[in-house]
Structure formats: structure tokens, C-alpha cells
Structure 1
Amino acid sequence: MQLYHHPYSLDSQKVRMALEEKGIDYTSYHVNPLTSKNMNVDFFRMNPSAKLPVFQNSAHVIYRAIEIIQYIDRLAVHLSGEIPPVNTEVHQWMQKVDAWNPKMFTLTHTPVKYRVFVSKFIRRVLIARMAEAPDLASMYHVKLREAYETEDKVKDPEIMKQSEEELRKLLDDVEAQLGKTKYLAGDEFSPADSMFIPILARITLLDLEEEYISCRPKIQEYYNLVKHRPSYKIAIGKYFNGWKKYRTLFKTSFFLCVRTLFRRY
């Protein structure tokens, strides 16, 4: 089993937590979206959406995080030989968490100068890849158009407001649920938690913990609890706890600056 992912990818964090929770071995491949490694020709041929993560088990390839996690859950059940009861509440929470797209929220809360710098770099990479692989030029052009459209959306205050409102609604629902159960779908850690925890980590990374987490005591208590889980430490804490986030971000920033300086796209 192979997983193409990166610590910056929130969906990758979801899948890695699920894999670690189930104790499933896999081969890890880092594909950094900020340096446009997901636009490299070989990867793009396999996955024209260029989105992360990508999970491959022999000839079976899955691209969406929620589908990968459901597959992992079924695989773990098959390996254990047990037949657990169907938990519809877990499935419902997974769908609810998956319905919120963190992309616009992340971009609108990223300093403009950094966002513009990375966006310009990615567009230049796409243009270079169109010349490198003419047979894929039309698909690269789709990604280039999406990049320009994303820049326009980020400037729209209504889109930013909608994303924030959707997040607050999700967090309020979770706060109410955690008043009744220890974890998101009951008193046992489940795939729904693997999907939700990276959202809290993203909020923290953007320095918005006071606004979205601290004001919700049940979520704060829950977040403090799950930070001690080995799956969290491996998928998120290793890269973003305390000073580690500066090391992680500095490495990418340095790489981007060097490639831009020498026009290596």
C-alpha cells in the first residue's frame, strides 16, 4: 500500500491519522503542493486533479480522503476477522466534516504577500509543465485557469464570510455533541475523529485558536485529549507542534525562494 501525501495537506493528515489508528503499514511518499510537486508530470499522469492524498493498494487507487478512510476502515475489519456493528453516526459525522472545504478559509487567513508569492510560483510551474508535456497541456491549462479563479475568489468577502460561517456551524455542532460523548461519534475514537482533528490543527496553525477553539470549552478539552494520541503526534505534531511549525514552513519557503531566484520551475 502506498500513500502520496504531505504534512501541509489537511486531507493527508486525516488519512494518515486513520492509518496510524488502525496500525496499517504503508509506503509514504511526500508530495509538497506548495512547491508544486503535485504538478510533476509523473504524478499528474496518475492524478490529473493534482489533489492530495492519493492512496494505492495494488491496482486500486483512491483520491478522496473520506473514501480512503472508509476503505481503510473496511480493510482493518477484514484483517481482524471481526464484524462490528454498523455505526451510522460515525458515517454521518464523517459526511458533515467532509462537507466543509478548508481551502478558502486557509487562503483568506494567510498573509497576502505569502499567498501571492506561492500562487505566482504555482502558475509559472504550470506554464513550464505545459511546455514539458504537450500531451497533458490541456489538463495543465485547466489547473492554470483554476489557479486564477481561486485568486479571484479569495478577494471576494462574501466567499470568505460563507466559509467562516460554515466552520462556526460545524464547530457549534461538535461542541454540542461533545457535551454528550467523549469523542465525536461516541465514547470511542473513530474515523470521524480522524477527519475532524486536522481541522482544529489547521485553525491552530493559522493562529486562530482563540477565536474558534478556546471559546468552546468542550472542543478545547477534546483537542487537549487527542493531542496525546500517537496518531496525532505522527501525522501532525511531528511537523507543527510549537517551534516545529517554523522549521517545517522555513524549509519550504527557502526552497521556493531558491527556485524562484534561479527560475527553476
Structure 2
Amino acid sequence: MMKKWNGRWLGGQLRQWSVPVAMQLYHHSYSLDSQKVRMALEEKGIDYTSYHVNPLTGKNMNVDFFRMNPSAKLPVFQNGAHVIYRAIDIIQYIDRLAVHLSGEIPPVNTEVHQWMQKVDAWNPKMFTLTHTPAKYRVFVSKFKRRVLIARMADAPDLASMYHVKLREAYETEDKVKDPDIMKQSEEELSKLLDEVESQLSRTKYLAGDEFSPADSMLVPILARITLLGLDDEYINCRPKILEYYNLVKLRPSYKIAIGKYFSGWKKYRTLFKTSFFLCVRTLFRKY
């Protein structure tokens, strides 16, 4: 297999290793789980081929992608014949791969694994939807349902699986209107952040004094809170998390995976491009 040499700083030393160029990541800047994986990849210095799949415009429902991944969820990581769909599984795979390539045998850190599980247990979907203005949420939801119907016609053999996604879309709309579901999501997030605040009073990063995969999973959640304009309610009132968040935003991995798209005025550019695309496609009924 063709290899590419790559040198990155790890553990205070410049290490070189050969990385297969076959690794591919299907992702998008809007996908919180994609941000987690991209931060982990950048932290480990692993090269990969990037494929952007915008879920807001229904690109994750395109026939070719849907055949590969009927869940239509992002990200998807592929290394040769090995395909992984869940963010936490991808990040753990990346961590093992980096260890193998570097030739080191670090001690097992159960605390990192435990924090990864805690962060992964909170599902940001309902929190994001319930804090998105209704007119935008409804517009995008209607567009995506039309995309699903159009894809059923494009690929009759996949119609039953597309119908499952269509039913899920309607169920999600019903859940968003349920105040109890919204309250539960908010309470679960607050509980998680309270635990993080307590931990950060003892350590610099989430699982110790070194940035770890657990941090790659947590930081995008803080970025999502910021994107939704909820810093005062969830971040600024927790001084240790605020200090930690300001620290990790200086890391190159954050700037590449998140800051490039959502820092300052950039988030308006990112959102405008998608809004314009949706409006044009809706106007011409191109789904």
C-alpha cells in the first residue's frame, strides 16, 4: 500500500511515521460528532482524505452515501475495508492507530475512557433543535423530508429504508414540541457540566494534565453551546470550564475543526452559505 510520511509534534518530540493514504472521513462542520473526530485526528497528526457531506442540505441522504451508511449519520471513517460509524469508536480507533504508528506503549488510562463514555452518553440532538429558532428548524426539516421523498423515487430498492428515515423525521418534530424532552436534555447537560467543573478544579484537562481523546469529545459540546448563544447559562457561570474553554480554543486542532467555521463572523458566513443553498433549491424544487 502506498504510504505518506508525516511528522507532527507528540509528547514534546517530533515523531515521524508512515500513514496509509487510504483513510477517509465523511463529515461536515455542522456535525458535532464530526468535530470530535476531526479534533482527534488533528491532535494525533493523522492524515486522511476529507469528504464534506452537509446534513442540513440532505447530502447524507444521497443514494451512494446512503447505500454505504443507511443510518445517514455523520461522521463515517474508513481505513481500507474497515468502516466505523460512531464518533467514540472512531476516536478510540484513532488513538490505537497513533500508538501503533509511534511505537510507544503508554499505560492504560481508564479515566480517559470513563470520561469519553460520560460525554458520549449525552445526545446533543434535541438540545440543538429545541434551541434553534422554530422558523429555521421547520424550514430545514421540511426541506429534508422532501429530499427523502425524492430519493425514494431515485432508488426504489432503498425506498423502505428511506421511509424509515422519513418516519424518524416526523417523530423528531413531535419530540421537539415536548417540553419534558427539552427539560430532560438540558438537565442532563447541566449534570455533565457540573461533573466537568468539579474535575477541572483538580486537573488542567478533562482526564489529567494532558489533552486527551476525552477532551476531543467535550470541546465540540462547548462550541455548540456558544453557537446557540447559551454561554452565560452553561459556560460563563462555571469558572473552571470557562478557563478550560479559553485554553483549548488556542489549540490548532480546535482552530481547524471548529474555529475555521464558527469563530466570530465566520459562523455567519458558514450559516449563510447553507441558507442560500436551501432557499435556491426550494425555489426551483430541486431536491
Fold shared, TM-score > 0.5 on shorter chain: yes
What displacement does 1:264 show? 0.1
**What is the CA-CA distance between 1:29 and the residue it aligns to?**
0.3
Per-residue deviation, 1:149: 0.1
In structure 2, C-alpha distance between the alignment counterparts of 1:228 and 1:204, rounded to whole Å: 16
| Residue aligned with 1:180, SS | coil
Residue 255 of structure 1 is matched in structure 2 by 277
Task: Give a deviation string over 1:176-203, Cα, whole Å, max 9, x none.
Answer: 0000000000000000000000000000
| 1:70 partnered with 2:113 | no
Q: Hey, which of these two has a bigger chunk of helix by percent?
A: 1
| RMSD after superposition | 0.2
The one of 108, 113, 137 equivalent to 2:159 is 137
CA distance in 1, matches of 2:249, 2:36: 14
User: For residues 31-65 of structure 1, what are the alpha-carbon distances to aligned partners after superposition, in whole Å with 9 as ceiling and x for unaligned?
Assistant: 00000000000000000000000000000000000
For 2:112 and 2:151, the matched residues in 1 are separated by 41
Structure 2 residue aligned with 1:96:
118
CA distance in 2, matches of 1:245, 1:210: 19
Looking at structure 1, the residues matched to 262 and 118 of structure 2 have their Cα atoms a distance apart, in angstroms, of 25
Equivalents in 2 of 1:52, 1:226: separation in Å?
A: 23
- Give 1:206 shift: 0.1
Superposition deviation, residue 215 in structure 1: 0.1
Tell me the equivalent position of 1:17: 39
- TM-superposed deviation, 1:28: 0.3
Instruction: In structure 1, list runs of 5 or more residues that go unmatched.
Output: none
Post-superposition offset of 1:88: 0.2
RCO higher in 1 or 2 (8 Å CA, sep ≥ 6)? Answer: 1
Q: For 1:228 and 1:127, locate their aligned partners in 2 and report how far apart those are by CA, in whole Å.
A: 43
Residue 173 of structure 2: aligned partner = 151
Deviations 1:144-176 (A, max 9, x none): 000000000000000000000000000000000
Q: Which residue of 2 aligns with 1:185?
A: 207
Out of 206, 216, 221, the position equivalent to 2:238 is 216
CA distance in 2, matches of 1:142, 1:86: 41
Displacement of 1:68 in angstroms is 0.1
- 1:115: Cα distance to partner? 0.2
Runs of 4+ in 1 over 4 A off after TM superposition: none
Shift of 1:224: 0.2
Higher strand share: 2
Q: For 1:165 and 1:206, how far apart are their aligned partners in 2?
A: 17
Q: Return the offset for 1:142.
A: 0.2
Pairwise CA distance, 1:95: 0.1
Q: 1:56 aligns with which of 47, 66, 78?
A: 78
Alignment match of 1:204 (pick from 226, 233, 240):
226
Figure out how many residues of one structure are paired with residues of the other and give that number.
265
CA–CA distance in structure 2, aligned partners of residues 8 and 150 of structure 1: 18
Instruction: Give the SS at the match of 1:34.
Output: helix
> 1:211: how far off?
0.6
Deviation at 1:3, TM superposition (A): 0.1
CA distance in 2, matches of 1:29, 1:112: 30
Structure 1 length-normalised TM: 1.00
Secondary structure of the 1:259 match is: helix
Report the secondary structure of 1:214's partner residue: coil
Partner residue, 1:114: 136
SS of residue paired to 1:3: strand
TM value normalised by structure 2: 0.92
C-alpha separation between the residues in 1 aligned to 2:112 and 2:256?
Answer: 23
Structure 2: segments with no counterpart, 5+ residues: 1-22
Which SS does the other structure have where 1:61 is aligned?
strand
* Cα distance in 1 for residues equivalent to 2:124 and 2:263: 20
Question: Cα distance, 1:73 vs. partner?
Answer: 0.2
Residue 69 of structure 1, CA deviation? 0.1
Q: Any idea what SS the aligned residue of 2:51 has?
A: strand
1:41 correspondence with 2:67: no
2:19 corresponds in structure 1 to none
